Amino acid sequence: MSLEINNSRQMLSDLLASEFKMHWRGLPLSRSSFSVSEIEALGWNALNGDLLTPLLVLKESALAHNIELMSEFCRENNVLHAPHAKTPMSPQLAWQLVDAGSWGTTVATIDQVRVMRKYGPNRLFLANQLVERQALRWIASEHDSDPEFDFFCLVDSDDGVELMDSVLKQARLSRPLKVLIEVGMPGGRGGCRDIEAVARTAEAIAKSETMTLVGVEIYEAMAAKGNTLAEKINAVDEALAFARQSFEFVRQNQLIARSGQILSAGGSLYFDRVVAAFEHYRPDPEVSIVLRGGCVVTHEIGDNDHVSPLAGRSVESNTLKQALELWALVISRPEKGLAVLNFGKRDAPFDKGKPVAFSVRSYEGDIRELTEPLTIRSINDHHTVIETGPAHGDLAVGDLVGFHVAHPCTAFDKWRLVPVVDDTYTVTDGIVTFF
């Protein structure tokens, strides 16, 4: 590993140590006398008062399990994984995934590219269009200054290609930028809607002096429309068939690089359909199938737990585990049947479903699993009101309630630092986020 990468990791370690000091020990921001390796030695426990609530934690065992399970899926199906970093936006997790065998790291915005360039792995897949002039000039500079920087981005029109080409020419780009044609579906986001648009885009790339076409990309979950799961899967399969048709078109017409070709799909719900749709190309040594699901790392309640081929649709007993937990304190029992907790919209995601309580830790330290769910009546900025009944026991002021959350993308972005805990909730590490 290069000195630059080691230095980046040390900078992250220093920042992490500083964050622990600033947020939970009340000490001044300092990077000189504390290292990440000392965190575990402190013996902090996330639930016994060492850290303030509300608190989002990342379960170490579930995280490791999910990474290994997804890695095993990719190995068995001869595909690659470039997890989407926008979910936790943490270079530490990006490194952990690459160290576990991930092909690269997916990002969504130029800001995320900049963060990963400073702290993260060198292979970045920008699953988005890149047409902002200032961003193109910066990418050209990074691209030329570091031969090991392996960068990919998307295009979906001849107009976009021409704009990119003009800026990159002015920037005197010395080696071609690797691009993939994005294909999409009516009513979706970006992406060519038909094979004629694919042809125009590919031909424009072939005429450019600054780009080389290496593949075709789709975000297949955008196609998942319908009232039933079967209807959604059928719509996903149709979208993937169009991606496959587009890839075959650029190959047959010799509009794509001869080697290093990529067929890529993103999303955490239908990656088994991606494997099936692109089955013909998986044995081809010149073609890489790249999956980009990011939520598989932490998993979640809601759609991911119900629909994922490694969870709700799995026929195996070994499935993904929910690695994120939100713990909050009961601060009031203002009337019978109601309890008020000290978390709200600033602390927990609510865009894809409310958090679901799974456990209670009494003020004395006893933990019990909930046999019936608690009903959340309302979530305010900093308070959540829940309904309680006999099945929930004697929920008292001072008790802690643990919740699973729906949508890790809007869970991580509320926390600058997320403690990593073992199964006893002892803090072993911490994840710094860059939102």
Per-residue pLDDT of 405-418, as tens digits, reads 998 899 999 998 89
Residue 7's pLDDT is what? Answer: 54
For residues 126-130, average pLDDT? 97
What are 109's two structure tokens? Answer: 């915005």
Residues in the chain: 435
C-alpha distance from residue 243 to each of 74, 198, 265, 299, 389 (Å): 20, 10, 9, 27, 52
On the 0-12 / 13-18 / 19+ scale of CB atoms within 10 A, 266 is buried
The answer to whether 291 and 265 are in contact (CB under 8 A) is yes
* pLDDT greater than 90 at residue 391: no
Rounded CA separation 371/389 (Å):
12
Tell me phi and psi for residue 298, to 5 degrees.
Answer: -105, -20
- Least confident segment among 32-41, 191-200, 395-404: 32-41
Query: Which residues are CB-neighbours of 5 under 8 A, at least 6 positions away?
Result: none
For residues 50-74, average pLDDT? 94
Strand order in the sheet with 287-291: 80-81, 287-291, 261-266, 211-219, 177-182, 150-155, 123-129, 105-107
Rounded CA separation 32/30 (Å):
6
Domains and CATH numbers, the chain: 3-43 (no CATH), 122-260 (3.20.20.10), 324-432 (2.40.37.20)
- Average of per-residue pLDDT values in the chain: 89
* pLDDT greater than 70 at residue 243: yes
Residue 16's pLDDT is what? Answer: 57
Spatial CA neighbour of 314 closest among 324, 323, 305, 322:
305
